[in-house]
Chains A and B, each alone.
Chain A
């Protein structure tokens, strides 16, 4: 792994980001924009599942209009995130908040898959209902908590990684 991160660190793209005074903040700004859109749009769905907002909107209608944008934003966040990581790959890979953030992303993915394939089934029975089954509410709550923690870890990476 270490040699892979070192190779990433030595790529021309990573070197350019590291040596330029402005590339890093531009990519970072785009990363923050993308992540706010990911977390904000998922929260709109989570808050609906928890029965707090958009109660008069069917769950399937809401996910249909929100989640495509969540995925577009996620792809942007992942690409910009990889670029930021590459600029100091070895050091990031030892940062506890970076590692936690990656682990939390796996939890978010697992939660989404469980919702998609297990708890979210039979949606036609509660799609229009303001109050959804407990398992679905739990999926919303877990998602919200995990994404809050992702943002917190992201912010703490900045405070625990001194400039190169």
Chain B
């Protein structure tokens, strides 16, 4: 039980899979490219829903229409993000797992998923849910702003992982 994150990171770095990722020079940039492309799809889809909630676009269509249009794309792309992100972690465990920017990013990711689910859940029962009362419209706008800030912070934290050297050696 005394296995620390530090020990785990170093154990992981010695596994054959990790060593392959470390030694084949094109793997990390390729996976990072896939990771960034996936983030591009997710953040733009999220922003489309958020901008609809804020009333900036698509006043002719209810928020529910945007949720149904973009949410499947978001969940599928999130799976690609988790897989590509995992490959990057396995390739550089200490650089990522023990990195405050990475840890912050994971907290923000959990928050982002909670925010998205909060937005999605009531729409399944009642497509007009977010337009029904002025109070809900207001709540929707707050959720939209929080959602945008959380996703922006995910991207910033992701890039900052590269600038915080925490290999611990």
Point out residues on A near B: beta carbons under 8 Å.
25, 28-29, 32-33, 35-41, 43-44, 53-54, 57, 65-66, 69, 148, 151-152, 155-156, 158-159
Secondary structure call for the A interface:
helix
Complex Cα–Cα for A36 and B45 (A):
11
Contact A156 B44 (CB under 8 A): no
- Chain A residue nearest to B48 (CB atoms) is A44
Contact call A159/B29, Cβ cutoff below 8 A: yes
Residues of chain B within 8 A of A57, CB atoms compared: 69
Could you mark each residue 19-49 of chain B with 1 if its beta carbon is under 8 Å from any beta carbon of chain A, else 0?
A: 0000000001110110011011111110110
Whether A39 lies near B37 (C-beta < 8 A) is yes
**Is the beta-carbon distance between B160 and A36 smaller than 8 angstroms?**
no
Q: Is the CB of A65 within 8 A of B33?
A: no
Question: How far does the alpha carbon of A159 sit from the alpha carbon of B25 in the complex, in Å?
Answer: 10
Q: How far is the CB of B164 from chain A (nearest CB, A)?
A: 9
Do residues A69 and B155 form an inter-chain contact, with CB atoms below 8 A?
no
A128: shortest Cβ distance to chain B, in Å? 14
Say whether B57 faces chain A, with CB atoms less than 8 Å apart: yes
Which residues B112-169 have CB closer than 8 A to chain A? Answer: 152, 155-156, 158-160, 162-163
Interface assignment of B79: CB less than 8 Å from any CB of chain A: no
**When the two chains form their complex, are residues A25 and B40 in contact, meaning their CB atoms are under 8 A apart?**
no
Determine if A148 and B29 form an interchain contact, defined as CB atoms under 8 angstroms apart. Answer: no
Q: Is the CB of A53 within 8 A of B163?
A: no
Is B73 a contact of A53 with CB atoms below 8 Å?
Answer: yes
Q: Is the CB of B160 within 8 A of A25?
A: yes
- 0/1 string, B57-75, CB within 8 A of A gives 1: 1100000000001000100
Partner of A155, one of B33, B43, B57: B33
Q: Could you list 14 A-B pairs, sorted by A, with CB under 8 Å?
A: A25-B160, A29-B156, A32-B155, A33-B43, A36-B44, A37-B40, A40-B40, A43-B40, A43-B44, A65-B48, A151-B40, A152-B30, A155-B32, A159-B29
